[in-house]
Amino acid sequence: MTGERRPPADRPLTEPHPSRLSPGHPDRERILAAHAAALAAGEAGYLDPATGLFVLSAGFLARRGTCCGRGCRHCPYVDD
């Protein structure tokens, strides 16, 4: 696939880029727990515990192979 990139090796799929989920976010722990459960189950995403919106998991986004440029919370392609 043209434009295919690999996620940065120094950041695991379980840890979103700080620009996408701030370390000080008030719901960070609940968000990370929901994300971890989705990753473990191989699901495409999870319902955000604060908003109820569906959020794509880093695993799903990594399997897609490219960044869509829409600012996904768990995008594995975000460069530092």
- Tens digit of each residue's pLDDT (9 = 90 or more) over 42-56: 999 999 999 999 999
User: For residue 58, what pLDDT band results from cuts at 50, 70 and 90?
Assistant: very high
Write down the residue that tokens 């955000």 correspond to: 48
- Tens digit of each residue's pLDDT (9 = 90 or more) over 63-77: 998 899 999 999 999
What residue segments make up the domains of the chain, in order of their start?
14-80
Give the predicted TM-score (pTM) of the model. 0.85
SS (H, E, C) the chain: CCCCCCCCCCCCCCCCCCCCCCCCCCCHHHHHHHHHHHHHHCCCEEECCCCCCEEECHHHHHHHCCCCCCCCCCCCCCCC
Rounded CA gap, 45 and 39, in Å?
8
- Tens digit of each residue's pLDDT (9 = 90 or more) over 18-37: 999 999 999 999 999 999 99
Rounded CA gap, 46 and 65, in Å?
20
